[in-house]
Structure formats: structure tokens, C-alpha cells
Amino acid sequence: MNPVYEKLQRCDQAVKDRLPFTPRVALVLGSGLGDFAGRFQMEASIPYEEIPGFPVSTVPGHQGRFLFAYVDGVPTVMMQGRVHYYEGYDMTDVVLPIRLMKLMGAEILFLTNAAGGLRPEFAGGALMMITDHIASFVPSPLRGENLEELGTRFPDMSQVYDRELQELLRRTAGESGVPLAEGVYLQFGGPAYETPHEVKMARLLGADAVGMSTACEAMAANHMGMRVCGISCITNLGCGMTDRPLNHEEVQQTADRVSGRFAKLVTAAIGQMGE
Ligand code: HPA
């Protein structure tokens, strides 16, 4: 058997008897939603280190576990702590958790992250719904022998972010009174923030936000036929767009400041995602 698929199967075997329900939504908690899970009664939790072969996050402040809770009545599996490519993992390991949540039964993937904004009006704290992405600067998670069990060799990427889910997010944001911008997310490899000219390049390419995650996850999910949506918390303007250097603390502080409104929107949106 293909080693990537074999590892996924092993992880699936390790978790499947521990699920309190079949999740409908898989939610990846990025910076800005770190305490999101604390708002709900947990039905179960599976620390990543208890899953054999599972990649464990090395970023300070990123906890690593799956959490299971009803979010506004909708059975949801949350990833508290994602795995980033810059930590040194293969792309197939980076997206393994996404694939695993699909095997758990989740049909919808809700991605969140912190990102640098490329439009001046996105100054600190805006929320941006992802309408499309540029993943050309990181290796494809689909590279290597195709896993036929998961999806096709040459998957279409014309609609990675589900149109109906985008409409649901727009509507929910309006109803919740949470301003929601829209734009294209570009994934760089990190871990360094961009140079001013890399930011200029990203803007020329049509990106509205830059970050170090998410697009590869969306790609793997699309390959498996999941419906995907995503929201970026714009924690800062891209390097060179202001005269101040970037740092992780500032990113975290802005993310924390926005977390109340972010959580409100995500909760209300998931509430609308039941069957
Ligand atoms: N660049 C890349 N990743 C980020 C940024 C940024 O400016 N802000 C938060 N995550």
C-alpha cells in the first residue's frame, strides 16, 4: 500500500473508536480562534501525540489536539493547532489531519488563519473571506502517486471555496453585524515574513492576503470532494506597506483583539451548516 495512505489508515484506526459523533463540519482553528473551543462543552478530545505517526506542531502557543463539540447544534471536529510546512514536515503530513477529518465523516472544511493584508483598507483586525487562493509557491500536497481512494489524479480547482458556503458566510456576517471583506489568499512557505518586494509581487499577482498555511489544506480537501470555506484574520498589513517591522507578538495581539467577533461569526455560520 502507498505509505501516505497507509499512515492515514493507521491514524483513522487509532481515532475511530474515540469519536463521540460523526462530525459534519471540520474546523481548523487558526490564530485568532485559539480560545474558540472554550465556548463549547467538549464531547471528546484526542491529543495528536496519542495518534501514531501523526505530525505534532512545534510552534509555541499552538496546542495540538482534536476537539469534538456541538457548535450551535452542529457536530464539529476542531483542530486546535495545525501543522505548518515551515516546521519541516512533508506536505503530505501537513494535510494528513485534513484528510483524517474527512475520513471521520466531515463533509465541510472550515479553515481559519491569521494573515497579512495586502490592501491598505485591511489595516489590523479585518476579517476576510477567502474566495480563491494561490498555492504556487509551496509544493503541492497532491505530489507523488495519486491516492485513488481519496480523489482523482488531476483534480479541478475552479471552485475550491464552495460558492454556497461563501453565500452563507456573507449572509451570516450581515445578520451578525460582523464586517466581512473578501479576497484571494496566497500561501508562502514561511517561516520568515515576506520582504517588501515579495509583498509587491503578491499584490501584482492579485492576492489580497498572504500567509503560511491554508491553501495546501484547501487543495487536499478539494481533492477529496469536501466543501471548503475559509476566513483570514488580517492581523497586519504586508511587509513594506507600513514603515514598521513585523513580529509574531503583534500578529498574536491583533488576533486576540479580534477573537470575539471572529468567534461570533464562525459560530453563527456553523450553526447554519447542519443538514
Ligand atoms: N505574512 C505571512 N503570514 C502572516 C502574516 C504576514 O504578514 N501575518 C500573519 N501571518
Query: What digits encode the pLDDT tens for the residues 145-160?
Result: 999 999 999 999 999 9
What share of the chain in percent tops pLDDT 70?
97
Q: Is the pLDDT score of 60 beyond 70?
A: no
Q: In the predicted model, what is the mean pLDDT of residues 202-210?
A: 98
Q: Is the pLDDT score of 41 beyond 70?
A: yes
Residue in 242, 248, 251 to alter for ligand 1 test, most ligand atoms within 8 A of Cβ: 251
Q: Confidence band (pLDDT; 50, 70, 90) for 59?
A: low
Which residue out of 37, 193, 198, 213 is catalytically annotated?
213
CA 23 to chain centroid, in Å, comes to 17
Of 26-35, 44-53, 106-115, give the lowest mean pLDDT range.
26-35
How many angstroms separate the alpha carbon of residue 212 from the centre of ligand 1? 7
User: In sequence order, which ranges of the chain are alpha helices (DSSP H)?
Assistant: 3-15, 91-94, 96-103, 163-176, 196-204, 215-223, 248-271
Q: Compute the distance between CA of residue 14 and CA of residue 103 in angstroms, rounded to an integer.
A: 12
Query: What digits encode the pLDDT tens for the residues 164-176?
Result: 999 999 999 999 9
How many angstroms separate the alpha carbon of residue 251 from the centre of ligand 1? 8
How many angstroms separate the alpha carbon of residue 26 from the centre of ligand 1? 23
List all residues 6 or more positions away from 163 whose beta carbon is below 8 Å from its beta carbon: none
Q: Is the pLDDT score of 94 beyond 70?
A: yes
pTM above 0.85, yes or no: yes
Q: In the predicted model, what is the mean pLDDT of residues 116-145?
A: 96
Q: Is the pLDDT score of 123 beyond 90?
A: no
Q: In the predicted model, what is the mean pLDDT of residues 35-58?
A: 91
Q: In the predicted model, what is the mean pLDDT of residues 127-156?
A: 97
Would you call 71 helix, strand, or coil by DSSP?
Answer: strand
Q: Which residues does ligand 1 sit against, CB inside 6 Å?
A: 114-116, 193-194, 210-212, 235-236, 238, 246, 251
pLDDT, residue 125, reads 87
Q: Rg of the chain over CA atoms, in angstroms?
A: 17
Q: In the predicted model, what is the mean pLDDT of residues 181-209?
A: 98
Which residue out of 84, 207, 217, 241 is catalytically annotated?
84
Q: In the predicted model, what is the mean pLDDT of residues 113-140?
A: 95
Q: For the chain, give the mean pLDDT.
A: 95
How many angstroms separate the alpha carbon of residue 107 from the centre of ligand 1? 28
* Closest ligand 1 atom number to CA of residue 113: 10
Which residue out of 101, 114, 268, 273 is catalytically annotated?
114
The C-alpha cell that represents 50 in the structure block: 496519542
**Catalytic status, residue 236:** yes
Query: What digits encode the pLDDT tens for the residues 230-242?
Result: 999 999 999 999 9
Left, alpha or beta for 103 (phi > 0: left; psi -120 to 50: alpha)?
Answer: alpha
Q: Compute the distance between CA of residue 122 and CA of residue 107 in angstroms, rounded to an integer.
A: 31
Torsion sign (Cα): 54, 77, 220, 10:
positive
pLDDT, residue 188, reads 98
Which residue out of 86, 107, 123, 182 is catalytically annotated?
86
Q: Is the pLDDT score of 62 beyond 90?
A: no
**Catalytic status, residue 223:** no
pLDDT, residue 155, reads 98
Three-state DSSP string of 139-199: CCCCCCCCCCCCCCCCCCCCCCECHHHHHHHHHHHHHHCCCCEEEEEEECCCCCCCCHHHH
How many angstroms separate the alpha carbon of residue 53 from the centre of ligand 1? 29
Cis peptide bond upstream of 191, omega within 30: yes
pLDDT, residue 34, reads 80
**Catalytic status, residue 5:** no
CB 84 within 8 A of CB 213: yes
Q: Is the pLDDT score of 266 beyond 90?
A: yes
Nearest residue by C-alpha to atom 6 in ligand 1? 116
**Catalytic status, residue 128:** no
Helix H or strand E encompassing 76: strand 74-80
Q: Is the pLDDT score of 61 beyond 60?
A: no
pLDDT, residue 124, reads 74
Angle 194-158-85 (CA atoms, 0-180°, nearest 5)?
35
